[in-house]
Structure 1
Amino acid sequence: MLEQGDQIGFLIVSGTFLTAMMGTFIVAMVVLHRQRQVQNRQKIDNLKSEYEKTLLNIENEIQQETLTQVGRELHDNIGQLLSLAKLNLNSAKPEKQAEGKEFINQIIKEVRALSKTLNLDWVEEISMDDFIRQQLHRIESTGYCQTLFDSDQSFNELSKDSKLVMIRVIQECLNNAIKHASPDQIQIKIYKEDSLRKIDIIDNGRGFDTSIQSRGSGMTNLKKRMETIGGSILLSSVPGKGTHITLSLAF
C-alpha cells in the first residue's frame, strides 16, 4: 500500500510539474506572439510613415519644379505675348488692333493652361505614356538629342500615388542622363515581363563604372522611392557604352 501511495504521489507531482511547464510554455508563446505583433505593427507604421514622407517630398519637388516652369513661361512666353499685344493695340491701324486682340485671346489660353499646372490634379488626368512623351518631346525640341518611345500601355492604370513616384523617378533618370551622360539618343520602352511591368530608360552616352561607389545619394533615393510602391530599380552601365535603367513594378 505504501509503494502504491508513493507511485500515486509521484504521478501527482509529475503531472503538476508537467502542467506548470505547459502553462509556462503557453504563456511564453503568447508573450512572444504579442511581441511579434507589436514589432510587426511598428514595421507597418514605419513603412506607412516612410511612404507618406516620400509622397510629401515628391509632391513638394514636383510643385517646386512646376513653379519654376511657370516662372519661365510667364517671363519668356506670356511676357512676350503681352508686349506684342500692347504694341498692336496702341497702333491706329485696325488690322494691328485685330492682331492685338488675337494676342490677348492667346494669352488667356496660356494663363488657363498654366493655372492647371499649379496643383497636382494633372497627375490624375495624364497617362504615363503621355507624360513620358511630353518629357521626351521637351528634350528633343531643345536639340539636345534624339529620343525614342515604345509602349504596350501597361503603366497607364496606376493610382495617383504610384504615378507620382514613377513620374519623379523617371524625371530624375532623364535629368541624370542629360547632366552626366551627353547621349546622342535616349530611349524609353514600357513592357510586361512575367508578373512585372517594366520601364527601360536607355541612353548611349558616356556611361560609367558601376563598381566605383558614387559620392551622391541619388540612386539610393530612387531605390527607396521605388520600394515604397513595391517596385525596384536596376542600373547597368559600361564606360563609353551608355547606361540602362530598368524600373519594375508588380501587377
Structure 2
Amino acid sequence: MPLVYIAAVLLSLFAVAPFIWMILTSIKPQAEIYSKPLSYLPNELNLQGYKSMLDVRADANLNFIQWFKNTAFVSLLTTVLSLVVSALGGYAMSRFRFRGRMTVGYVILLTQMLPGSLLIIPLYLIMKDYHLLNSYFGLVIAYATVAVPFCTWMLKGYFDSVSTAIDEAASIDGAGRWTTFVKVILPLTLPGLVVTAVFSFLTSWNEFMFAQTFITDYDKWTLSVGIASFQGQYVVNWDYLMAGSVLTTLPIVIAFWLLQKHLVSGMTAGAVK
C-alpha cells in the first residue's frame, strides 16, 4: 500500500507541475523567464501580464475581455444546444425500439472517431455556402458536431440506468411521453446532465483549430486563438501568454469546484443498473 500512495503522489505531482510552472512564469519578469526558466520563485514579482489582460485600456493590441466574452457566449450556447439534442437523442435510443436503432447509434459513435482536422474542409465549405463563416453561430454548430455524438451515448447510458417502470408509472398517472421525459426522467439523470454539460463546455472552451479557421475578425476571436497570438515567429511574450493561460483556466477550476458533487455521482451513475 505505501508504494501505491507514493506512486499516486508522484503522478499527482507530474500532473500538477505544468500548472505550477505556468503560474510562476506568469509572475516573473521577462528577463528572468529567459535567464532562469526553471527557477521556482521569482526574485521580482511581475504582474504586468495580468494587468494588461484585465485592463481594457492597457494595450490596444490586447482584447482579452472581449475574447473572454466571446468564448463564454459560444461555450454556453454550444452546451445548451448539445444538451438539448443529445438528451432527446439519448432518450430515444434508450426507450424507443425501432428498426435500425443500433445502426444509427453506431453511426453516431463512428463520427466521434473522425479527427477534427478531417472535418475542417467539409465544414468550411458548408458554412461558406450558408454564410456562416466568421460568425458565432457557425462556430457553435462546428463545436456541436464534435460534442453531440459523445454526449448522446453518455446520456443513453444514464437513461438506461433509469428503470422503464418509472415511465410506465408516469403513464398510468396520465403523463404523456414528453411530460414523463421532462418532469420525471430528466430530474433523475441530473448528475449525468451535469457531466455532459461540463464535457460540452470544455470542448468548446478549449478548442483552437475550428476557431482559428472559421473566425477571422480580431474582435470575434476566442481565448485560445487570442492567447496563441502572443507567440510570435521570433519573440514569445511568455508573461502575457502564461497570464492569459492562468485566467483562462480559472473558470474551469471554479466550475469543477462548484460541480464536483454532481460530477462524482454523475460519472458513476450510469455504471450500475
TM-score by structure 1 length? 0.26
**Rg comparison, structure with higher value:** 1
The structure richer in helix per residue is 2
The structure richer in strand per residue is 1
> Which one has more relative contact order, counting CA pairs under 8 Å at least 6 apart?
2
